[in-house]
Structure 1
Amino acid sequence: MSKLIPYPRILPAVAMALTTDLTHADISPVIQIFTGGLDGQGELTTSLHVNATPQGITRGSYVGEIMNGGGVRITPELSYGLLESLEGSLYLPVVTDEHGQWNVAGGIGRLTWVPIEAPDEGGWFLGTTWAFSDYNWKYSQATLNLNGGFTAGYDDDDWLFAINAFFNWGLNDRYQSSDAPGLEPAFAAKHYFGENLTLGLEYYGAIGPITHPEPIHLQSHTIFATVDWDEEDWSINFGIGRGMTSETDDWTIKTILFVPIGNY
């Protein structure tokens, strides 16, 4: 099993806000699969999420919207183990657009509860994670968003499989066409090579409101090839993603650096 401090999702997921008409993401400051691992009680960890879109969507769905295409997102995260099975996190997304202008996009708070953790010898895990985000209107059709759902999977010495099923509610969406939440599935399949190296695939989707999903060509689907490197006191995740539909950014590059700070 990996020593990696495991991840919450997002291209769309924990920190994402999705439209309810078009399913492309308004902003993607964090691109992760949540795999059931938590900080221990009293443990403080800092993470740095960086992702860039060298080729992607630049045309907004409303006047003044700033899209991912040509931009870079840098998001520091601070997480703390509140209990053995409960973790809280804060995120501060900083965004540059295709013209090189930098802005703080908003803030995100997250709570994760994992009542069933994979044992050291390998096994199943199950948990739930919920996030509340407050975004600048230039980056999200709804400035206030609630995102949450469940994560489940299997983790042993050779393989990691994880599935995330999240729902996103735009709490003050000016253009909302449906009160139903958007469905945002994600999946990871990874193979461990020794103590440090992990190779795998990550998938992220957004299909629109659960009551009437968008046609497939208007949905968002991205597949990442990923590399994870795990050391005793730090770990890193790197991935290159390819969008599969016209409502998905063509290419996305992401990296996440995890550094435990200590126990408090």
Structure 2
Amino acid sequence: MKILYAFIFLVFLLNTAKAQDNYEIQVYGSETVDPGRTMVELHSNYTVNGFKTKVDGELPDNHEVHETIEITHGWTPWFETGFYFFNSIGSEGRTAYVGSHIRPRFAAPLAWKWPVGVSISTEFGYQKKAFSANTSTLEIRPIVDKRWNRVYVSVNPTLDKSFAGPDQNKGFIFSPNVKGSYDISKVVALGLEYYGSTGPFFHYDAFQKEMQQLFIATDLNTDPDWEFNGGIGYGFTSGTEKAIVKIIIGRRF
């Protein structure tokens, strides 16, 4: 219960602080893909209640499906590279290939025997202007996680930078993600996932313009080669989609 209270406190502490674009809604763990293996994931997200008008030239995302293919290959015990292909499905010209990112990630080797898992991900790529006003972006994502028996916590204090678009002169934007889960069995874990964004450091957006989302999520651990994560999220501000459903299915080869 103390760990649960600490997680809830951390969520509300960060809540005073724009979530990930809703193509890949995921809090990362520190572990990388094993060397010589490849992980293929499908991120499927449906915006049940989202934006209904254009914002900064972006098409609305209400009742839109986002399908993202992620392919990650492990090169060493501490380095992997991921590739993303973003796609949108919707009415009124919203069905399209959206863009692609590349994501190298480095992890602290297990041989260092640190008390927590640590890695850092850097993600860079392009998105079409009709789907993202900031068309060229960089994400720097430190990852720290820890497991205590059945309890798991991961914190991603992410920094976002735009090189083309309305945010290109805003510097780095703080976008924290936090996950806490509890294994109710050997197969099923239930938890909360938080996604937020404050705007630029020291020039924070007004609260209602920030993105604040909380997901109730579940992870299924049926096989070490398979991954499943699903959840329902709610946005607390006018700058956030009110309701999103997400499913992630992954397979290691």
Q: TM-score, normalised by structure 2?
A: 0.87
CA distance in 2, matches of 1:211, 1:138: 29
Residue number in structure 2 paired with 1:182: 173
Q: Structure 1 residue 109 and structure 2 residue 102: aligned?
A: yes
Question: Identity over aligned residues, as a percent?
Answer: 21
CA distance in 2, matches of 1:24, 1:98: 25
Residue number in structure 2 paired with 1:67: 60
Instruction: Letter of the 2:23 partner, please give it.
Output: P
- Which residues of 2 match residues 76-95 of structure 1 at below 5 A? 76-95=69-88
Instruction: Letter of the 1:78 partner, please give it.
Output: I
CA drift of 1:177 comes to 7.0
CA distance in 2, matches of 1:155, 1:188: 12
- Which of 25, 29, 36 is 1:31 aligned to? 25
When residues 68 and 26 of structure 1 are mapped into structure 2, their CA distance, relative to the original with a 3 A threshold, is: farther
Q: Structure 1 residue 51 and structure 2 residue 42: aligned?
A: no
Residue number in structure 2 paired with 1:204: 195
- Which of 234, 238, 250 is 1:246 aligned to? 238
Root-mean-square deviation (Å): 2.3
Specify every segment of 5 or more residues in structure 1 that has no aligned partner in the other structure, as ranges.
1-22
CA drift of 1:99 comes to 3.6
- Deviation per CA, 1:9-49, whole angstroms, max 9, x where unpaired? xxxxxxxxxxxxxx956942100001111111111111110
Residue number in structure 1 paired with 2:205: 214
The answer to whether the Cα contact below 8 Å between 1:36 and 1:117 also exists between their aligned partners in 2 is: no
Instruction: Letter of the 2:100 partner, please give it.
Output: G
Q: TM-score, normalised by structure 1?
A: 0.83
- Aligned residue for 2:164, secondary structure, equals coil
CA distance in 2, matches of 1:94, 1:53: 14
Specify every segment of 5 or more residues in structure 2 that has no aligned partner in the other structure, as ranges.
1-16
CA drift of 1:147 comes to 0.7
Instruction: Letter of the 1:137 partner, please give it.
Output: K
- Deviation per CA, 1:166-220, whole angstroms, max 9, x where unpaired? 11111112x3473311110010110012321100000000110113011111111
Residue number in structure 1 paired with 2:120: 128
Instruction: Letter of the 1:132 partner, please give it.
Output: F
Which has more helix, going by share of residues?
2
When residues 207 and 118 of structure 1 are mapped into structure 2, their CA distance, relative to the original with a 3 A threshold, is: farther
